[in-house]
Amino acid sequence: MGRMIIGKMIMGKIITWKMISSKMIWLAGFGAVLLLSGIGWAGDRQMAEIDTIYQDFSTDPGWEGVNNRVRCDDCPIITQDFGWRPTGHNGDGTGEIGGVIYKSTTPAYYAMPIGPFSFKDKLSASGKMAAIAPAEEGEGFYIGFFNHARQGWRVWSSCGFRIGDVKEGKARFHLDYKTGQGAGAILNPDIEILCDGSVHRWELIYEPEVTVGDSWPDSRLPRWINSTSNVHEDEIFARAQKDDATMTREKLHDLLLSARDAGLVDHWYRKGSYHLWNIEKYADRMKGRITFRFDDQPAVSYFLLPGHADQPSRIDRFGVYNMQMYHGSMQFFLSDLTVNGEKIELSQDPHWDGLNNHMIYRQTDFHARQDFGYTQTNWAGRSAGELGGRFYGTEVLDPLHGFYADDIGKLTLDDAIFFSGWINFVEGAVDGRMLIGYFNREVRLAPVQGEYKGNPPHQFIGIEVMDQTQIGYSFTAVCSPRQDLAFEERGPIFIPDRIKRPFSFQYDPAGGEYGRITITLGSDTLTADLDNKQRQVGAVFDRFGLLNPRKGGKYVDVYFDDLRYVARRKEKPAFQKQIVVTVPYPEGGRLYK
């Protein structure tokens, strides 16, 4: 891992660069001279071979696209129909909220206006519910508090619970919140609901003033866990048995869950199992508790992470909203509702707000439906025409990984590498990523071999927009001449706020001891140094452009304009038309998991 230096600088848009003797001066538009870096390793002859290319994308640049535009040829037609109904599922004639709701990237909700509230306000809701899920595609939905204007996966300014992951006639509950700045956390309790139409009771409470105490369910637990880093439950159990021969796995697990609900420990939950635990290092700074009760089962709780309650949030609806991914449906029924202490009258139409809750449409989105490249939109620049779109994180084995890139000749880590422009981060789902930078085409398209983990790519240098749920996305410097020698140095927090920003990437082979990367986003800068192995491995870069990550995850929508980048080539590559790849719609919306 390279050394990392984080600081601040005034950043303008890069306009040009010139050689003066053996020095390179980078001149910035918008009023600032940025960087002076010695590059005595290269003579004037070598540097003269490198050109700066400018693209404002007022016309199609004709770059090469591989799997960057993907469509389905048998996209399913779905009928979504939920809202108020005069006859309740429980047969007492009191009315209900219910119907068929789809998991889809097309937002849908039926909700009552409230507030607006923030995470400084107390929130509560309770009621009865029932669920019926088709065995072949059962997927769930959300109940809770949210913002109607900023949707996505997960919904901004929200606090609720979702029902999903249907198996053997049961669906799991998951709790999550997200602030108005895209940060959040999730709790995965061991609670399930039968999807047979049976009626159950639930309650959701948010208490803004509650903090984490120091009362452990067993005073020996901190010693058994003994780490703020992840520890496998098997290791914790082995320590516990040394202290207490009567300790069972079941008892230990219950103690860990109790400590989790008290805010004292955290866990890594994956595909239905709790694998790893750690002592919550932020416990003394967490404030605001979310509690969920289901039927007569013990309540479960978790806390907002430090600073999240203070982030601007606007919660203006309570009701039902869909899981905005892909694909599947569930029938549900809600009744006997109380929201923030007020009984909701459902014997007559409450006239709540609805979005896409009564509609028939074609489900066109699915995992690996890349849709990026040249586009006549205007998110990042001053006029129509730019690069960008939707990038999905694809599993390593998924053949639909893609790129959209310019042939730039050949550059290596002995060359000064630079690109800059404007960026707009429009939308981001949890675990979404994308990359912009220099890579090797042949290596990118080569069959998977050995223990290749997919991301970052072999022979890549550039920038990644990547997610960390608890704090949101970050603008990250990446250097991976070979994947086992990669580093990803996280720079400024970068949420999908739909604001245009200038950015730049500079690699100086004479910087530091073995080469230095400097990235800027607006006024923020991050510097990361290569090590000797990274420098000597022999990477060759022959493309510059956009890539999706070969790493399981969701999606991001990111756009770029007014790009400047360096290239070493004798002539401009031939113009290539954008090609759309058509594939069958995958079962459940995702073929590789």
Q: What is the pLDDT of residue 93?
A: 65
Q: What is the pLDDT of residue 230?
A: 87
Q: What is the pLDDT of residue 276?
A: 87
Pick the CATH number of 214-285 from 3.60.40.10, 3.30.420.40, 3.40.50.740, 1.10.10.10: 1.10.10.10
Question: Which are the contacts of 430, defined by CB distance < 8 A and separation ≥ 6?
Answer: 153, 154, 467, 469, 553, 554
Count the Cβ atoms, other than its own, within 10 Å of residue 348.
9
Question: Which are the contacts of 228, defined by CB distance < 8 A and separation ≥ 6?
Answer: 278, 279, 280, 281
Q: Which amino acid is at 525?
A: T
Residue 2 scores a pLDDT above 60: no
Q: What is the pLDDT of residue 454?
A: 77
Pick the CATH number of 77-212+294-362 from 3.40.50, 2.70.70, 1.10.10, 2.60.120: 2.60.120
Residue 11 pLDDT class (50, 70, 90 cuts):
very low
The ranges assigned to domains in the chain are 4-71+366-589, 77-212+294-362, 214-285
Same fold, 4-71+366-589 and 77-212+294-362: yes
Tokens describing residue 378: 């205007």
Average pLDDT of 419-429? 95
pTM of the model: 0.84
Over residues 98-108, the pLDDT tens digits come to: 999 999 999 99
Question: Which are the contacts of 504, defined by CB distance < 8 A and separation ≥ 6?
Answer: 11, 14, 34, 418, 419, 420, 421, 518, 519, 520
Over residues 215-271, the pLDDT tens digits come to: 999 999 999 999 888 899 999 999 999 999 999 999 999 999 999 999 999 987 665
Q: What is the pLDDT of residue 274?
A: 64
For 292, the enclosing helix (H) or strand (E) is strand 287-294
Over residues 298-355, the pLDDT tens digits come to: 999 999 999 999 999 999 999 999 999 888 899 999 999 999 999 999 999 999 999 9
Q: What is the 3-state secondary structure (H, E, C) of 119-179?
A: CCCCEEEEEEEEEECCCCCECCEEEEEECCCCCCCCCCCEEEEEEEEEECCEEEEEEEEEC
Residue 23 pLDDT class (50, 70, 90 cuts):
very low
Report how far residue 391's alpha carbon sits from residue 462's, in angstroms, rounded to the nearest whole number.
16
Q: What is the pLDDT of residue 593?
A: 81
Over residues 168-183, the pLDDT tens digits come to: 888 989 999 999 988 8
Q: What angle do CA 478, 184, 557 make, to 5 degrees?
A: 50
Cα 401 to Cα 368, 431, 491, distances in angstroms: 7, 16, 25
Q: What is the pLDDT of residue 6?
A: 29
Question: Which are the contacts of 22, defined by CB distance < 8 A and separation ≥ 6?
Answer: 38, 39, 40, 42, 43, 44
Residue 25 scores a pLDDT above 60: no
Fold classification of 4-71+366-589 (topology level): Jelly Rolls (2.60.120)
Q: What is the pLDDT of residue 152?
A: 84
Cα 298 to Cα 2, 148, 174, 224, 275, distances in angstroms: 47, 31, 15, 24, 22
Q: What integer best gives the mean pLDDT of the chain? A: 87
Tokens describing residue 307: 């600073």
Q: What is the pLDDT of residue 469?
A: 64
Most confident of 25-34, 133-142, 482-491: 482-491
What are residue 184's DSSP bridge partners?
178
For 266, counting Cβ atoms within 10 Å of its Cβ (0-12 exposed, 13-18 middle, 19+ buried), the class is buried
> In a 3-state reduction of DSSP, which class is residue 412?
strand
Average pLDDT of 530-535? 94
Cα 459 to Cα 1, 142, 455, distances in angstroms: 16, 42, 11
Of the CA atoms within 13 Å of residue 480, those in its CB half-sphere come to 27
Greater model confidence, 448 or 469: 448
Q: What is the pLDDT of residue 10?
A: 27
Over residues 387-409, the pLDDT tens digits come to: 999 999 999 989 999 999 999 99
Q: What is the pLDDT of residue 167?
A: 83
Count the Cβ atoms, other than its own, within 10 Å of residue 380.
24
Q: What is the pLDDT of residue 262?
A: 95
> In a 3-state reduction of DSSP, which class is residue 563?
strand
% of residues, the chain, pLDDT over 90? 70
Which runs of consecutive H residues, i.e. helices, occur in 161-271? 221-225, 233-243, 249-261
256, 274 Cβ separation under 8 angstroms: yes
Residue 439 pLDDT class (50, 70, 90 cuts):
very high
For 442, the enclosing helix (H) or strand (E) is helix 441-445
Q: Which of 202-206, 298-302, 390-394, 452-456 has the lowest mean pLDDT?
A: 452-456
Q: What is the pLDDT of residue 387?
A: 98
Average pLDDT of 14-23? 28
Q: Cα(first)–Cα(last) distance of the chain, in Å?
A: 29
Greater model confidence, 494 or 290: 290
Report how far residue 140's alpha carbon sits from residue 330's, in angstroms, rounded to the nearest whole number.
6
Q: How far is CA 500 from the centre of its chain?
A: 19
